[in-house]
Amino acid sequence: MQAFQRVLEVGELADPGKTLVEVDGEMLALFHVGGTYYALDDVCTHDGGPLADGELADHTIACPRHGAKFDIRTGGALTMPAVRATRAHRVKVEDGGVWVALGEPPASAAIGGGPALSSSALPIASATPAATAQPAPTPVAGNGAATEAALAQGPLSEDRVREMLKEVKDPELFVNIVDLGLIYGVSFSEAEEAGKQCVSVDMTMTSPACPAGPQLIADTKRVVSTHPDVAAVEVRIVMDPPWTPERMTDDARDQLGIF
């Protein structure tokens, strides 16, 4: 078990507040919320973003890059695009100082937390079970143009469009946008060209700053437009209601290792 190291003096960090500290050569994000101190690796498990630079709200820290959120009490990943926990560390207040001891890496991590870690990975000052970690998702390859052409066969309908959109995969999570729950609705209107229709797709993103947004929009238009009855495709981005992991199908949860 790692020894505690004094990193700050009590009162040096505002409440609520966050700062960067070094313990045994590792950079950690230290938080002070509600009179209690918490420490996490200063690393977003999605893309390595610096958590100490993110926005702190109650017991949640948001990565400044793509908006993935983590529970500062446990390190658990709370929202996409992160699906794995970041490491939590033991913290104590003693002799007028704040002390931190490095914890063990999570054994597994799923969005929203999971079974508790061993006590060596718990932040003592919070006495809150740490989230467990999940293996990184395995990329799932698309079936290419042949599959898209096959899906484009048959009458045009909302179900047909949704099946076609399963060929569009989030480039960071490798899960299709239908199973991720990103498609809020599909509607149709008559086109000027006889026998064809205009398709409107209401789509959301896992976070407002999702960097994959332009690619997902372009892929959605490309896939839907392959149907011979489609004259035009409009993609409307909808952020209300906000996307949550509960919108994912069981297939998506299986691919991401979320149980």
Residue 121: per-residue pLDDT? 32
Indicate whether 148 and 247 sit together in one domain. Answer: yes
* Residue numbers of the domain that contains 31: 5-121
- Does residue 83 sit within a domain? yes
Residue 206: per-residue pLDDT? 81
| pLDDT for 250 beyond 50 | yes
Global pTM exceeds 0.85: no
Reported as a pLDDT band with limits 50, 70 and 90, residue 2 is confident
- Does residue 108 sit within a domain? yes
| pLDDT for 159 beyond 50 | yes
- Does residue 231 sit within a domain? yes
Reported as a pLDDT band with limits 50, 70 and 90, residue 137 is very low
**Residues 191 and 199: beta-carbon distance below 8 Å:** no
- Does residue 30 sit within a domain? yes
- Does residue 138 sit within a domain? no
Domain count of the fold of the chain:
2
CA atoms of 134 and 81, how far apart (whole Å): 14
Q: What is the CATH number of the domain that holds 53?
A: 2.102.10.10
**Residues 158 and 132: beta-carbon distance below 8 Å:** no
Last residue within a domain, chosen from 87, 121, 155: 121
C-alpha count within 13 angstroms, C-beta hemisphere, residue 2: 21
Indicate whether 154 and 202 sit together in one domain. Answer: yes
Neighbours of 60 (CB within 10 A): 16
Residue 64: per-residue pLDDT? 87
Q: Is the dihedral of CA 83, 84, 90, 91 positive or negative?
A: negative
Reported as a pLDDT band with limits 50, 70 and 90, residue 130 is very low
